[in-house]
Amino acid sequence: MTGWVGRPITRFEDDALLRGAGHFTADLPAEAYLRFVRSPVAAGIIDGCIAPDGVMMITDTDLASVPPIKPIIRKFGYVPIAQPVLARGVVRYTGEPVAAVIGQTEEQAEDFADLVSLNITPAPVCVTAEAAMAPGAPVIHPGMADNIVVQTALTTPGYESANAKAAHRVVTKIRSHRQAALPMETRAAHAAFDAATGRVTLTCTAQMPHLMHRAITAMLGMAADELRVIAPDFGQKMSLAAEYVVLVWAALRLRTSIAWVEDRRDNLMASFHARDIAIEVEGAFDNEGRFLALRGDITANVGAYAPYPNTAAVEPLMSFTELPGPYDIGEYSCAARGVITNTCCSAPYRGVARPAITLAMERLLDMAAMQLGMEPAEIRRRNLIRIFPHTTPTGLVYDNAAYVETMEMALLAADVPGFRARQHAARARGVYLGLGMSSFCERTGYGSAAFAARGMDIQPGWEHVDMTLDGDGVVTARIGASPHGQGLRTTLAQIIADAVGVVPANVRVVHGDTDHTPFGWGTFASRSLVISGGASLIAARKIRERLLQQAASYLEAADADIDLRDGYASVTGTDRRVSIAVLAQVHGGFADDGFYDPLGTFSNATHIAMVAVDIETCMVRVERFIVAEDAGRLINPMIVDGQIHGGVAQGIANALLEEVIYDETGNILTISLADFLAPTAHEIPAMTILHRETIADATMTGAKGLGEGGTIGAPAAVLNAINDALAPLKVTINEMPATPARLHAALRGTK
């Protein structure tokens, strides 16, 4: 009895996208175009901002009644930060929007922006976390003297005594430099005023349209039904863009349609950044290489402001909570802080904090293995958690999984002995090959309880699905989540098709429109398939129950003898059947809903990278990449592999290429794609992907989230591989990206 779940069916999303008929925000024509005038300096006092005659300009004076963006966490010493949607008197990072001008075309709007006379008296800057925390550093936000926006610490009662028993102690410091999410589609928004209804329709790139709706109506004092938010697309767009608020304000004021399409320069300079994190870890091990205790110290440079809704606390707090990863580390002591600097704000980007903590843990384990004279795989075997559920020192509960078995799968595929032989032979020829592994577990699909634990004012978590089955036999699911390329229309259709008994082609998934979907939180934190899928399954099962009754009555059989499948209800063992469309017609259609708010589930994976390091040019080539992943039940294996491919590519980019660079004055140097280096097809090797399916009891569908895993595991695997390659030269590198310049410095340092 095979169903649709588990089959690699092709996507319903593809046809329109391949014909160039997909809907993207920037495609919409508008009566007027808006362009932002941005701060050319990282810190300063605005002395004046004057538009030439005849140019309509919006500044904070016009927006005096609009409250600032100010998300709140009520724990961890969090100091709320207010970000005016346009700078109010001071600027705090290069690229901060100071004013907006309006033209009839994008070209004209840019001409006008260039003509604006913006005078700023520069102020002292802090670009790095170290500088911002130094005694006497300039205070970036009033009332936050040390520039620390959030901090927390924990030492378990048994830490000191466990640590004292260590036979081996290993310390390492890792540094994850700043990265940008770099969606191929930049941010864009289009706000259209409808004079007949007085409503504004905001079409924008966003992952959480309902939350955008809630935030913008609140900030602009609009009634809920005065704004409709449509989010056809996504990317780097989980957080509220101040620019969108200005745009809706302008549409209301001008009673017209007005658009803003971010260009790549502004995207790299002033959209959200991520991953600017330094971590020191110290492992205390016994004689057999087993963890006795782990100490961590985490500093995240979170930029100048706090994005809504997540605040500036996500990276330091998530690092703090999830640092131990898939290992039984015994006792734990950790301190973490988020530091405000004169740089662009940091916001959640695929993987959020986990690429850095995984790098810290996996470097630590490789260094410990070397110190203990052990194979890297062996020390992991001794420390990976084997008994579930497992409660971590920070109170996370890991659900059923198979961490060791997943790692063994990856090792087998990698043929480590074969690699070691090749590596040995290559070294004789002066060629440095390396193999690196990394294991991690990833908290996914978590509901409101997890967000409540963070003390967030906004507590996302659940998802809601409205479902109908109409007389044409088509199921329509209206979801609050807002997919962006992961193929959720297809995977939800598979889940719903099995539950109701229709073919996936007869399932319509409506999303990304606040007029036509129930409230939902959106797409982030590897949650959409798990939570929206769970809610869909709940709704679909309710409809199924009623369909069964209707079919039993129609076919004069017992409920238990009815089989619902691919559009028909049939009586098992007979040729009596009726189409589900007819049943729906007879019944006048079916409607129900599903609400799902799970605790969360942990997926896990082991990544193995094989690299070649050219020690003359310091260039690294990733030659092979293996992923063994356990994300529970696979709804659509083709889509799963696609998610992993893309994640790993972004992880390799994080490890080797991509870096946002500021100079010491806070000027950003990486504002073009000739400077911020995204990988091409040449830099990404062919990947081997293997799956285990530990069915998650913790979720409705048995599936665990996996959208972010690729980005989490890949950087550490690549860095470990580079270190393995360079081990004969006694060179280590614990910074990413491991650029040629950094490798050169490391190699030269030993010569």
Partner 1 sequence: MKPCAFIYHRPSGLPEALALLAAHAPTGGRVLAGGQSLVPMMAYRMAQPSHLIDINHIATLQGAAMQNGALVIGTTTRHAAFKTGICPGPLGAMLGFVSSHIAHGPIRNRGTFGGSLANADPASEWCLVMVTLGGRVMLQHASGTRMVAAGDFFTGVMATALADDEMLTEAHLPWGQGDQWGFYEISRRAGDYALAMCLVVYRLDNGLMRDVRLGIGGAEATPRRLAAAEAILAGQAPTGPNFIQAADAAAAMLKPMTDHNVTALFRRDLVRAAVRRALHHSLNHE
Partner 2 sequence: MKLHVNGRDYDIAVEARRTLADALRKDCGLTGTHIGCEHGVCGACTVIMDGAAVRACLIFAVQAEGAVIRTVEGLAAGGLHVIQQEFVAHHGLQCGFCTPGFLMLAVAAREAEPDLTDAEILDVLSANLCRCTGYQNIVKAVSASARRMRET
How far apart are the C-alpha atoms of 307 and 111, rounded to whole Å?
Answer: 30
Minimum distance from residue 28 beta carbon to partner 2 (Å): 9
Which of 17/167 has CB closer to partner 2?
Answer: 17
Give the three-class secondary structure for 67.
coil
Residues lying near partner 2 in the complex (CB under 8 A) are found at 10-11, 13-15, 17-22, 24, 26-27, 29, 106-107, 182-186, 233-235, 261, 263-264, 484-487, 638-639, 641-642, 645-650, 672-674, 678, 680-682, 684, 686-687, 710
**Segment holding 232, helix H or strand E:** strand 227-233
Could you tell which of partner 2, partner 1, none binds residue 13, using a CB distance below 5 to 8 A set by kind? partner 2
Q: Are strands 277-285 and 168-176 parallel, antiparallel or unpaired?
A: antiparallel
Q: Which region, judged by CB under 8 A, interacts with partner 1, from 410-418, 529-537, 668-676, 712-720?
A: 668-676
Instruction: Kindly state the smallest distance separating residue 488's Cβ from partner 1, in Å.
Output: 32
The amino acid present at 171, given as its one-letter code, is: V
Query: Minimum distance between the CB of residue 584 and partner 2, rounded to whole angstroms?
Result: 30
- Give least dist CB 672 to partner 2, A: 6
Choose the one of partner 1, partner 2, none that binds residue 234, judging by a C-beta under 5 to 8 angstroms depending on kind.
Answer: partner 2
Does 402 engage in binding with partner 1 (CB under 8 A)? no
Q: Which of 153, 421, 669, 695 binds partner 1 (CB under 8 A)?
A: 669
CB of 742 to partner 1, least distance (A): 10
Nearer to partner 1 (CB atom), residue 682 or residue 730: 682
Structure-token pair, residue 51: 């538009």
By CB under 8 A, which span of 110-118, 159-167, 434-442, 713-721 interacts with partner 1? 110-118
CA angle 741, 660, 609 (to 5 degrees): 60
Residue 117 site contact among partner 2, partner 1, none (CB < 5 to 8 Å, cut-off depends on kind): none
Binding to partner 1 by residue 115, rule CB under 8 A? no
- Interface with partner 1 (CB under 8 A), residue from 194, 663, 665, 697: 663
Residue 633 contacts partner 1 per CB under 8 A = no
Per DSSP, which regions of 375-447 are E strands?
390-391, 397-398, 432-444
Supply 338's token pair: 């988020």
Site mask for partner 1 (CB under 8 A), range 679-708, x = bound? xx-xx-------------------------
- Report the SS3 class of residue 457: coil
CB of 110 to partner 1, least distance (A): 5
Which parts of 271-353 fold into alpha helices (H)?
A: 314-322
Amino acid identity, position 83: Q
Look up residue 11 and give its two tokens.
Answer: 């996507």
Measured from the CB atom, the residue of 559 and 663 that comes closer to partner 1 is: 663
By C-beta, is 15 or 515 nearer to partner 2?
Answer: 15
26 binds, among partner 1, partner 2, none (CB under 5 to 8 A by kind): partner 2
Residues 413, 414, 418, 422, CA torsion sign: positive
Distance CA 10, CA 457 (A): 40
Between 510 and 661, name the residue whose CB sits nearer to partner 1: 661
278 token code pair: 């330094």
- Does 617 interact with partner 1 (rule: CB under 8 A)? yes
Site for partner 1 in 291-320 (CB under 8 A): none
**With contact defined as beta carbons under 8 Å apart, do 517 and 511 qualify?**
yes
Q: Which of partner 1, partner 2, none interacts with 418 (beta carbon under 5 to 8 A by kind)? A: none
657 contact choice in partner 2, partner 1, none (CB below 5 to 8 Å, kind-dependent):
partner 1
Contact between 624 and partner 1 per CB under 8 A = no
CB under 8 A: which stretch of 148-156, 412-420, 602-610, 734-742 binds partner 1?
734-742
Closer residue to partner 2 in complex, CB, 238/726: 238
Identify the three-state secondary structure at position 235.
coil
SS3 589: coil
Q: Which does 485 bind (CB under 5 to 8 A by kind): partner 1, partner 2, none?
A: partner 2
Q: Which does 617 bind (CB under 5 to 8 A by kind): partner 1, partner 2, none?
A: partner 1
Pick from 609, 623, 607: which is nearest to 724 by CA?
609
Q: Which residues contact 161 (CB under 8 A, 6 or more apart)?
A: none
Q: Which of 107, 194, 225, 515 binds partner 1 (CB under 8 A)?
A: 107
- Residue 716: burial class (beta carbons within 10 Å; 0-12, 13-18, 19+): buried
Pairing of strands 507-510, 562-565: unpaired
Report CA Rg, the chain.
Answer: 27
Please tell me whether residue 661 binds partner 1 under the rule CB under 8 A: yes
Residue nearer to partner 1 on the CB measure, 505 or 745 = 745
Given 135, 391, 616, 686, the residue binding partner 1 (CB under 8 A): 616
Query: How far is it, in rounded angstroms, from Cα 495 to Cα 596?
Result: 15
Binding partner selected for residue 453 from partner 1, partner 2, none, CB under the kind-specific 5 to 8 Å limit: none
Site membership for partner 1, residue 110 (CB under 8 A): yes
Q: How far is the CB of 735 from partner 2 (least distance, A)?
A: 23
Cα–Cα distance, 111 to 335 (Å, whole number): 49
Binding at 64: pick from partner 1, partner 2, none (beta carbon under 5-8 Å per type): none
- Long-range contacts of residues 620-624, Cβ cutoff 8 Å, at least 24 apart: 620/656, 620/718, 620/722, 620/738, 620/740, 620/743, 622/652, 622/656, 622/683, 622/684, 622/685, 622/718, 622/721, 623/433, 623/685, 624/414, 624/685, 624/686, 624/688
Work out how close the CB of 741 gets to partner 1 at its nearest, in angstroms, rounded to a whole number: 5
645 binds, among partner 1, partner 2, none (CB under 5 to 8 A by kind): partner 2
The smaller minimum CB distance to partner 1, of residues 387 and 674, is found at 674
Applying CB under 8 A, the span of 294-302, 427-435, 666-674, 697-705 interacting with partner 1 comes to: 666-674
420 Cβ neighbours under 8 A, 6+ residues apart: 435
Q: Please state the closest distance from residue 745 (CB atom) to partner 1, in A.
A: 8
For residue 426 the two structure tokens come to 């290559």
Cα-based distances in Å from 143 to 80, 147, 148, 614: 10, 9, 11, 50
Which one, 584 or 609, has the nearer CB to partner 1? 609
Beta-carbon contacts of 341 under 8 Å, excluding residues fewer than 6 positions away, are 126, 127, 128, 129, 131, 132, 140, 147, 301, 302, 303, 304
* 657 contributes a contact to partner 1 by CB under 8 A: yes
**How far is Cα 298 from Cα 129, in angstroms, rounded to an integer?**
11
3-state secondary structure 597-648: CCCCEEEEEEEEEEEEEECCCCEEEEEEEEEEEECECCCCHHHHHHHHHHHH
106 binds partner 1 (CB under 8 A): yes
For partner 1, give the closer residue by CB, 521 or 676: 676
Interface residue with partner 1 among 264, 508, 541, 587 (CB under 8 A) is 264
Q: Looking at beta carbons only, is 304 or 657 nearer to partner 1?
A: 657
Beta strands in 95-217 (DSSP E): 97-103, 117-122, 148-155, 168-176, 179-180, 188-194, 199-205
Asked if 672 is part of the footprint of partner 1 (rule: CB under 8 A), the reply reads yes
Residue where the block lists tokens 């091409």: 680
* Closer residue to partner 2, CB minimum distance, 682 or 730: 682
Amino acid present at 373: G
Binding site for partner 1 (CB under 8 A): 106-107, 110-111, 114, 263-265, 616-619, 657, 661, 663, 669, 672, 674, 677, 679-680, 682-683, 739-741, 744-745, 748
